[in-house]
A and B are shown apart, each in its own frame.
Chain A
Amino acid sequence: MRGLSGRQKVAWVVITVVVLVYALFPVASIAATSLKPASELNSGLFLPQNPTLGNYEQILVGNAQELFLSALRNSIGISLIATAIAVVLATLAAYAIARLDFPGKRLILTTALGVSIFPVISIVIPLFNLWRSIGLYDTWAGLIIPYLSLTLPISIWTLSAFFRQIPWELEQAAQVDGATSWQAFRKAIVPLAAPGVFTTALIAFFIAWNDFVYGISLTSTETARPVPAALAFFTGASQFEEPTGSISAAAVVVTVPVVVLVVLFQRQIVAGLTQGAVKG
């Protein structure tokens, strides 16, 4: 912040605070709500007067346990599988797009872009009918396939942008230095590509993890329902109680891994490794 006048500094601080409050207030509100006992839900106060872990107990070991834990299992499994498939396919596709000149290269990229901007809600109804008739409704595969349509395009785009930055002369240099094609790829290219692939995997995982529309439309039971969809099926302890508390607790539980991952791998997400490979 050096080189800024006093007024500019104040302005920056104000802007930063406004953005932080805007972005984090809902999260804080949910976290606060998750700690409130049922009696305080309508108290109108931000902070719980008698903080309790009752809501967490309820979703992890209590009444809602079955609903929540199975949903958590589905979410983790489905998101991981969708991510893995997307990253493997996108790596191969992006490698080809970045390295080779072949007819239809632009077509692949524009199609990928087209798919990713296609409104999800418009294909979910036909998909619902199709999945029911071919037996994919309410299965893991039934969610993994549509998730690929969300994660693949963005993975192909980020990875091909990333691969384009890799100086391929490194591969040639390694070959001249005595490496086989495979050694050159493994020792010179993979270490450079790894951060990009990892970053892409994180992004793809978040997309799958956060999906709601497919999750609620294409599942009906605990066999495949992911967490965002399952939250809607929470009920209170009795029919007169609202499940707001346990929904908030579940929301916190599914948000935490995302936040932890981002904080841990912030550097990899932000910076590539290629700087300095060629002239700076």
Chain B
Amino acid sequence: MASIVLKDIVKEYGDGFHAVKGVSLEIADGEFVILVGPSGCGKSTLLRMIVGLEDITAGDLEIAGKRVNDKAPRDRNLAMVFQNYALYPHLTVFENIAFPLRLAKGKFSDDEVRRRVEKAADTLELREHLERKPANLSGGQRQRVAMGRAIVRQADAFLFDEPLSNLDAKLRGQMRTEIARMQRRLGTTTVYVTHDQTEAMTLGDRVAVLRRGELQQVASPRGLYEQPVNLFVAGFIGSPPMNFVPGEVRGDVLHLPFVDVPLDDALRAAVGDRRLVIVGIRPEHLEDASLVEEGRRGVTFGVDIDVTEWLGSELYAYIPFDTNPDVAAKLEELDRELDGEGMRSQVVAVLSSESRVRDGDRAELFLDPGRILVFDPESSVNLTRDEDAAVRIEQENEQERRAALERAQQRESRSDAASDDGPRREARRAS
């Protein structure tokens, strides 16, 4: 158990490439932190610097309060799960999991090794596969063996490098909850790298969004979703992604390509004296006007629906619009950074599945102006961000995290006491 502190970490490769440009991050003991960003944002490099497989060019890395910049990976006492699992193909599952214990020569007796490996195997439901070779296992089983190797020793922290990207969609969902459950129960500090924003949102206590080697925002998933600091974070978090449209200030209204939104005090304060802004609208904040109950504050407007996709639980409606040339370049650049294809300018609305809107319809949509975000077209900063609300979300999140951790550990110690007795505790005392 340990906290991990990164202070102005810089990575510069021999060819002058700046992979990580001064990242500072504090990871509390027992916290689950996600490093997320599009490909090439430096998230894996950062993780490999923490574990010691990459040298740190500048800055300090502290684990449990001690500076470890110059320590070899084996002296940092961290456990890592690699993207391709990195199992030892010549060893059985048992020996793969036992590998870290066998390396600590003389520290564990054969009985102790067997006991620990079997406990890890039970946790991960690998008991019946212990004598098999990795080549004969399925993808999910290999993934679990890799996790077994990590949990078998008392590492200070777990590091995951895109551990689920080689699995199919269904298995990915299962393993995701498995990882979350395991982390809660063990209460081990965890750093997890992914490019998948769903994994980031569902797993993390806090999520660090990286872009081109720079930290954009560190916040709880809800904080990122509701109070993003800039265009990049707003566009990266959420699926389908946030819609960005140009907004022109025309007297009392903010003119969007398909609707005029009246400027209330909050929006007016956010916009200031700008003539042109970028407006961000979450797809689920666009609703089918015919299904909205009476009396809600908002604007309704008619649009031509291009294509619809009915998913059972909801309905995606795509609405093309003509963009403003002054912000088109900015939005295109953003799209490229988010690994998009820059196909066409369109808005996606996530409507209720009861909606009768179909391809080619003229539909009435509803939008609550209080939900829209306004960004500065030059600096990309979120002008509508509410600092007080953001702080409140983080505090709530931290309380929830502690409560969940405590509950999981109480449950764990109860089941431990029930299933284990004397020898186990003696062994622990002996070690």
Q: Which residues of chain A have a CB within 8 Å of any CB of chain B?
A: 167, 169-170, 172-180, 183, 187-188, 191-192, 273-280
Contact = CB atoms under 8 A, between A and B. Distances in A.
Contact of B166 (A172, A175, A192, A279): A279
A183 B89 contact: no
B142 interface: yes
Interface string B127-154: 0000001111101001000000100010
Given A178-B103, A179-B74, A273 B84 contact: no
B58 interface: no
Contacts of B100: 177-178
Interface stretch (B33-41, B75-83, B250-258, B375-383): B75-83
Contacts of A191: 88, 90
B418 interface: no
A229 to B, nearest CB: 42
A170 B74 contact: no
Contacts of B53: 172, 175-176
B72 interface: yes
Nearest to A277: B89
A275 B135 contact: yes
B89 A175 contact: no
Contacts of A279: 84-85, 139, 142, 166
A276 B82 contact: no
B369 interface: no
A89 to B, nearest CB: 25
Nearest to B75: A178
Contact of A175 (B73, B90, B134, B136): B73
- List of 8 A-B pairs having minimum Cβ-Cβ separation, nearest first: A276-B135, A173-B86, A278-B84, A277-B89, A177-B100, A169-B86, A191-B90, A178-B103
What bracket does the count of chain B residues touching chain A fall in? Answer: 20 to 34
Interface string B85-124: 1111110000000011001100000000000000000000
A7 B86 CA distance: 47
Interface of B: 51-53, 72-74, 78-80, 82, 84-90, 99-100, 103-104, 133-137, 139, 142, 149, 153, 166
B103 A179 contact: yes
Nearest to A183: B103
Contacts of B149: 173, 177
Contacts of A188: 88
Contacts of B166: 279
Contacts of B80: 173, 176
A175 to B, nearest CB: 4
A85 B171 CA distance: 50
A171 to B, nearest CB: 9
Given A169-B84, A174-B99, 6 more contacts: A173-B88, A175-B52, A175-B53, A177-B100, A276-B136, A278-B84
Contact of B85 (A179, A275, A278): A278
Contacts of A176: 51-53, 73-74, 78-80
Contacts of A170: 86, 88
7 contacts: A174-B103, A176-B52, A176-B73, A176-B80, A275-B135, A277-B134, A277-B135
Given A175-B53, A175-B73, A276 B89 contact: yes
Given A172-B86, A278-B84, A177 B99 contact: yes
Interface centre among B52, B53, B73, B153 (most CB of A within 10 A): B73
A280 B135 contact: yes
A154 B311 CA distance: 58
Nearest to B143: A279
A170 B74 CA distance: 14
B104 A178 contact: yes
A274 B82 CA distance: 17
Nearest to A173: B86
Contacts of A177: 74, 79, 99-100, 103, 149
B82 A173 contact: yes
A277 B87 contact: yes
Nearest to B90: A191
Contacts of B52: 175-176
Contacts of A169: 82, 84, 86
Contacts of B134: 276-277
A35 to B, nearest CB: 45
